Amino acid sequence: MIWKILYLVTLWAIGLCLIWLVVRSNLNEGVRAAIKLFAYLIALPAGWGTFIFLLITLTGSWSESESEVDPWHAMLLPWLLLPVICVFEVRSLFHRTVRLDDLLLPERGESSEKALKIAHLSDLHLTQRPTLGEGHSRTSILDHANRAIRWATESTDLVVLAGDITDRGDRDEWGLYEDIISQLDEPDRNRILVIPGNHDLSLTTSFIGLDGGAADVEHELRCRRFVEHCLAHAPRTWRLSRDPQTPVIEVLEKAAEFRRVYEAHPPKPVIVATGIGASLSFSVPQQLSKKASEIATEGLLWPTSKRYLYRELLTLLYPMVLFENETFVVVGLNSSTPCGTSILSSAFGQLGRKQLREFERLVELSDGKQLIILIHHHVGFTPAIRHRYRQAKPWISAKALQLRDGKRLVRKIKKRGRNVLILHGHKHIAYQASFASGVVLSAPSVAYGDSFSDQNLRGFAYAVSSSGEITLTQRFQL
């Protein structure tokens, strides 16, 4: 009996370890789900079996002569739970969302001298393809982006680009963005605050299983392009939130330095003989480990001597302080971390616990200043907007397109007890809304306009006073 119990405990431990490893891993969602299911198949019956055999050992009340039920068969009972687990996995796609209230901002052409004037643009979808959906040509999209950015820099203090700058995060598309930006003077360029959107970083165009691994690789490549073509132009005023003295650009310079050493002296895979077989390991050249420890002593957690991943670099960089003076602080968040690798779920937004934790710390530090948050995804919908969305796109859950951890974000903002302003884009719908702790402003798309209006709206300008009072000062229409 003892051997049976040991065997089952081992199986149970293997299942639990697998689940633990998968939860902590960076594998894509499809592979994670498959391994998790396999681990449940092992762990559940093994755990239950251990319990049954322990019971038999302790009480001696279940023997094959006394019972018609074979304990080995009874072990399979937990498999009945599998459908329940599957339901929970699917349910996790449909998270709880934030309910917003309707808001109508006051409109005024002039704003007080002290107010911060912000142009709010989003979803430029720059592309090299001849047309995008709904028949928008490449040239018209480029023209809209050029005009919108020119309008924004002429009339405001700060210009916000709330993600989806490109349509597929390709190198050529980022080239178009660089062309637009290079036409501006340096002071104007430095007033443009950019965050990534799902099209820039995490969009997938097929289903799980077809390109699960490819989606991961593509995400990594897009993160690299975002770093090299967008963040590389960041002014020195963009700073790390976890170390407010360090400009983002300095981290990127160190990262580029490390990459040069990594490529010249890459780690080499080696097979290491062990007692009962062999395992794969990496030998790290001296130059590389020296560079890695140099960076580590400066407090940077990325990269390690064995790998550098741009998606991990972005995790280190966000939340990012994009602008700060004695009255205002503008924080950029990255909600385009992949929480799905299929066409069904890659448009979802997620900040992740790490980023939220850091954000909470930042919120505490910025107490006393007017906080403005830039994020790509919707934090929530008002009932009216949700209703309209359901009517327009009944086959897509409006919930699913919002930030999956929006509730957590709002909870952290509420702790602050002072009003904040959230600016975002994503679904190309212009609306103003409020919640207990602030105001949420959703931008139309510079490329596509506003899905719910025929006014050809492409952007807005607001004036934000030091006390958090917001007025709509301009609309950008084509």
Could you tell me the CA-to-CA distances from 162 to 105, 244, 434, 463 in Å, in that order?
Answer: 20, 22, 19, 17
Q: 10 Å Cβ neighbour count for 31?
A: 17
3-state secondary structure (DSSP) of residue 428:
coil
CB of 29 or CB of 167, closer to Fe ion = 167
Shortest distance (Å) from residue 187 CB to Fe ion: 29
Shortest distance (Å) from residue 193 CB to Fe ion: 17
CB of 197 or CB of 247, closer to Fe ion = 197
Round to whole Å and give the CA distance between 212 and 31: 7
Shortest distance (Å) from residue 448 CB to Fe ion: 11
CB of 169 or CB of 212, closer to Fe ion = 169
CB of 329 or CB of 351, closer to Fe ion = 351
Round to whole Å and give the CA distance between 377 and 201: 13
Applying the rule CB under 5 A, the residues between 22 and 81 that interact with Fe ion are: none
Q: Which two tokens stand for residue 241?
A: 């939130």
Shortest distance (Å) from residue 428 CB to Fe ion: 8
Shortest distance (Å) from residue 123 CB to Fe ion: 6
Applying the rule CB under 5 A, the residues between 93 and 132 that interact with Fe ion are: none
Shortest distance (Å) from residue 200 CB to Fe ion: 9
Q: 10 Å Cβ neighbour count for 263?
A: 10
The letter for the amino acid at 225 is R
**Cα torsion for 122, 128, 134, 136, to the nearest 10°?**
80
Round to whole Å and give the CA distance between 183 and 185: 7
Round to whole Å and give the CA distance between 450 and 430: 6
Q: Which two tokens stand for residue 52?
A: 């049954």
Q: What is the total count of residues that contact Fe ion (CB under 5 A)?
A: 4
CB of 366 or CB of 445, closer to Fe ion = 445
Round to whole Å and give the CA distance between 439 and 311: 30
Q: What are phi and psi of 243, to 5 degrees?
A: -145, 85
Exposed, middle or buried, 294 (CB in 10 Å: 0-12/13-18/19+)?
middle
- Yes or no: say if 326 and 368 are a contact pair by the CB < 8 Å rule: no
Among 45, 124, 127, 164, binds Fe ion (CB under 5 A): 164
- Yes or no: say if 123 and 428 are a contact pair by the CB < 8 Å rule: yes
Shortest distance (Å) from residue 397 CB to Fe ion: 16
Contacts of 411 (CB under 8 A, 6+ apart): none
Shortest distance (Å) from residue 426 CB to Fe ion: 4
CB of 164 or CB of 450, closer to Fe ion = 164
Binding mask 402-431 for Fe ion (x = CB under 5 A): ------------------------x-----
User: Among the candidate windows 96-104, 139-147, 160-168, 270-278, which touches Fe ion by CB under 5 A?
Assistant: 160-168
User: Among the candidate windows 47-55, 84-92, 137-145, 156-164, which touches Fe ion by CB under 5 A?
Assistant: 156-164
CB of 123 or CB of 211, closer to Fe ion = 123
User: Among the candidate windows 163-171, 222-230, 271-279, 441-449, which touches Fe ion by CB under 5 A?
Assistant: 163-171
Smallest CA-to-CA distance from 377 within 196, 214, 251 is with: 196
CB of 194 or CB of 371, closer to Fe ion = 194
Shortest distance (Å) from residue 102 CB to Fe ion: 23
Shortest distance (Å) from residue 164 CB to Fe ion: 4
CB of 241 or CB of 355, closer to Fe ion = 355
Shortest distance (Å) from residue 33 CB to Fe ion: 24
CB of 123 or CB of 360, closer to Fe ion = 123
Could you tell me the CA-to-CA distances from 149 to 165, 226, 302, 460 in Å, in that order?
Answer: 12, 19, 34, 12
The per-residue b/e assignment along 460-471, b for 16 or more CB within 10 angstroms, e otherwise, is bbbbbeeeebbb
Applying the rule CB under 5 A, the residues between 183 and 212 that interact with Fe ion are: 197-198
Round to whole Å and give the CA distance between 96 and 86: 18
Contacts of 297 (CB under 8 A, 6+ apart): none
| Residue of this chain nearest to Fe ion (CB atom) | 426
CB of 191 or CB of 311, closer to Fe ion = 311
Point out which residues bind Fe ion (CB under 5 A): 164, 197-198, 426
